[in-house]
């Protein structure tokens, strides 16, 4: 039996968990199971927005809503809203004082909601709390890696901007009102914007404990260089909001560097060259960036160097360098 109080539809939840889903038949059931099994001493709701799935996901949402009336709120879109509006749709429907986000292919671990809500109670000036995630593959097998592997317990907007991605979206719980600017806007966005907007309201916190599982290799992250314009727009937004130009320049360099590394891995060599040049001209941020820029016209050599480095690192000969380069 779960250790949370039962909640009728009229009760006001302390926490709302917002789940976005589209064609995730193989993953949504375990995701929702991991949420309804959370043990808390407060009322919480799980709001699930299905964006007109065609693979059976919609039926899973209906089944869970019937099984857990008053606990699970099903938002079954009558037309496909797309990922940005579906996100806004489900978060606007949240009634809790605290709002957690969950992608429909990720998992919550026991104690997640209780720990995050307790920290927000403890830190009234903190707009959002994140936690470490265990990284699993598409079948749910543990990789042995945590995300983030290391990060400060409190982070200001400068840190979040410059070091993104610091944490997974499914690890976020925020105080109602922290994302009003995002939820009231229109158009596409990236999760980066949510983190920056929250951090602009005060230092965000990290729980250095794996309270969730992030499913790697599912979704669109394998070609994240396509999000370049949207990510750069977040840097522009931060600069308009008063973040120091030097910090913004390093953030631009870091984002372009990461996307260049991704494009190199995917052997999109023209994209790689363009992005690493953008990164280098924005700011000089690491020796790995310097190496990639110097050898940008012979990317196959860079792939060989990376493969050699990873082999040496894995047997304990080479030290850890840049996680984003060696992943």
The predicted-structure confidence for 99-150, as pLDDT tens digits, reads as follows 999 999 999 999 999 999 999 999 999 999 999 999 998 888 999 999 999 9
User: What's the whole-number mean pLDDT along residues 292-298?
Assistant: 97
Task: Indicate the DSSP class of residue 127.
Answer: -
Residue 200: both structure tokens together: 């602009």
Q: What pLDDT was estimated at residue 319?
A: 61
What pLDDT does residue 49 have? 98
Instruction: Classify 15-215 by CATH class.
Output: alpha beta
Q: Count how many residues are written for the chain.
A: 327
Which whole-number Å values give the CA distances from 125 to 100, 177, 196, 263, 284, in the listed order?
Answer: 17, 13, 16, 39, 34
Is the pLDDT confidence value at 299 over 80?
yes
Rounded-to-integer distance, Cα 48 and Cα 64, Å: 10
Query: What value does the CA radius of gyration of the chain take, rounded to a whole number of Å?
Result: 20
Q: What proportion of the chain, given as a percentage, has pLDDT over 90?
A: 82
Q: Is the pLDDT of residue 278 over 50?
A: yes
Q: If you search the block for the tokens 């690192």, which residue do you land on? A: 313
- Nearest in space to 42 (alpha carbons), one of 90, 98, 91: 98
Task: Give the residue range(s) of CATH 3.90.550.10 domains in the chain.
Answer: 15-215
Q: Is the pLDDT of residue 19 over 50?
A: yes
Instruction: Please indicate, yes or no, whether the overall pTM of this predicted structure exceeds 0.85.
Output: yes
- Report helix, strand or coil for 10: coil
C-beta separation of 80 from 148 below 8 A: no
């Amino acid at each position: 039996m779960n250790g949370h109080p039962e909640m009728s539809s009229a009760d006001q939840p302390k926490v709302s968990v917002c789940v976005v889903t589209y064609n995730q038949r193989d993953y949504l059931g375990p995701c929702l199971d991991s949420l309804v099994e959370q043990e808390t001493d407060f009322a919480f709701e799980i709001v699930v927005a299905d964006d007109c799935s065609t693979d059976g996901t919609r039926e899973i949402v209906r089944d869970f809503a019937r099984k857990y009336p008053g606990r699970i709120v099903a938002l079954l879109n009558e037309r496909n809203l797309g990922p940005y509006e579906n996100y806004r749709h489900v978060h606007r429907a949240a009634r809790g004082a605290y709002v957690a986000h969950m992608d429909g292919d990720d998992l919550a671990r026991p104690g997640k909601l209780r720990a995050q809500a307790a920290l927000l109670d403890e830190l009234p000036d903190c707009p959002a709390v994140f936690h470490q995630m265990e990284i699993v593959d598409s079948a749910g097998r543990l990789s042995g890696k945590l995300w983030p592997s290391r990060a400060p317990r409190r982070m200001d907007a400068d840190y979040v901007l410059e070091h993104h991605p610091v944490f997974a979206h499914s690890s976020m719980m925020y105080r109602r009102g922290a994302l009003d600017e995002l939820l009231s806007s229109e158009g596409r966005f990236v999760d980066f914007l949510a983190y920056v907007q929250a951090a602009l309201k005060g230092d965000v916190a990290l729980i250095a404990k794996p309270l969730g599982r992030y499913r790697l290799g599912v979704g669109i992250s394998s070609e994240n260089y396509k999000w370049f314009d949207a990510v750069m727009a977040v840097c522009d937004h931060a600069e308009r909001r008063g973040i120091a130009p030097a910090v913004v320049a390093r953030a631009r360099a870091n984002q372009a560097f990461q996307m260049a590394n991704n494009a190199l891995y995917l052997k999109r060599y023209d994209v790689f060259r363009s992005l690493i040049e953008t990164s280098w001209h924005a700011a000089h941020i690491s020796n790995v960036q310097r190496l990639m820029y110097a050898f940008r016209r012979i990317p196959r050599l860079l792939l060989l160097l990376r493969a050699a480095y990873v082999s040496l690192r894995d047997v304990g000969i080479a030290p850890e360098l840049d996680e984003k380069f060696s992943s």
